[in-house]
A and B are shown apart, each in its own frame.
Chain A
Amino acid sequence: DSGVTQTPKHLITATGQRVTLRCSPRSGDLSVYWYQQSLDQGLQFLIQYYNGEERAKGNILERFSAQQFPDLHSELNLSSLELGDSALYFCASSAASGSAKNIQYFGAGTRLSVL
């Protein structure tokens, strides 16, 4: 168990809909990262938050947005869903200092199926 919790595990929805994926980082970790894993694009970085603020952005679509709350949990919002958004979405967290600072620990992922 990595200590990173993602909910829900599975999500099935229809095109055009909006969903919210939730992530609770490891206790004490300030950084949260979101990744998308799809068959055609592999594992891709979406966005990073550090202590509530956006730190880095990757290949994240404008239809997607994220935020990190004061209790450090994060949510990834996906709207106007398309079939191509079907993927496994991972959240990872890392510590702000110490020997584990450079390691990202991953949650179990949320599998999104858009029908």
Chain B
Amino acid sequence: AQTVTQSQPEMSVQEAETVTLSCTYDTSESDYYLFWYKQPPSRQMILVIRQEAYKQQNATENRFSVNFQKAAKSFSLKISDSQLGDAAMYFCAYRSSFNDYKLSFGAGTTVTVRA
């Protein structure tokens, strides 16, 4: 079974600054997908960014970017120019490319943005 670990329960960032969230995973597969989901106080799960394991280029979505290190099984999320609306719980998730399409989630990191 795939295990996803988020070692930072909480992170705090000043508005307009940058914060990086860590995620590591354990898998024996060579092809898979990684995701970051955001869960604001409304509880809605919102996709932030995704990365295909076969792509070496790191994914970027506006102020959000990832640092994907396949050999190290690491998938960190960088939030640049942090905004008050970025305050939320962030979950890292793994999805196999094979038969089992479920998402395996980490425990989450709560991000607080200071004005």
* Residues in A lying within 8 Å of B, measured CB to CB: 2, 31, 33, 35, 42-45, 48, 55-56, 58, 88, 90, 92, 94, 102-106, 108-109, 111
Contacts and interface: CB of A to CB of B under 8 A. Distances in A.
A55 B101 CA distance: 9
User: What is the interface of chain A mostly: helix, strand, loop, or mixed?
Assistant: strand
B91 A48 contact: no
A112 to B, nearest CB: 13
B107 A109 contact: no
Size band of the interface chain B makes with A: 20 to 34
Contacts of B95: 102, 104
Interface of B: 33, 35, 37, 42-47, 50, 52, 91, 95, 99-108
7 contacts: A2-B46, A33-B101, A43-B91, A45-B103, A56-B100, A103-B35, A108-B43
Contacts of A33: 101-103
B44 A108 contact: yes
* Chain A CB within 10 Å, residue with most, of B33, B102, B105: B102
Contact of B43 (A31, A45, A56, A88): A88
Nearest to A109: B43
Nearest to A41: B107
A102 B103 contact: no
B102 A31 contact: no
B104 A106 contact: no
B45 A90 contact: yes
Contacts of A94: 101
Given A42-B107, A42-B108, A103 B102 contact: no
Given A56-B101, A90-B45, 18 more contacts: A2-B46, A33-B101, A42-B105, A43-B91, A43-B105, A45-B102, A45-B104, A48-B101, A55-B101, A88-B43, A102-B50, A102-B52, A103-B35, A103-B47, A109-B43, A109-B44, A109-B45, A111-B43
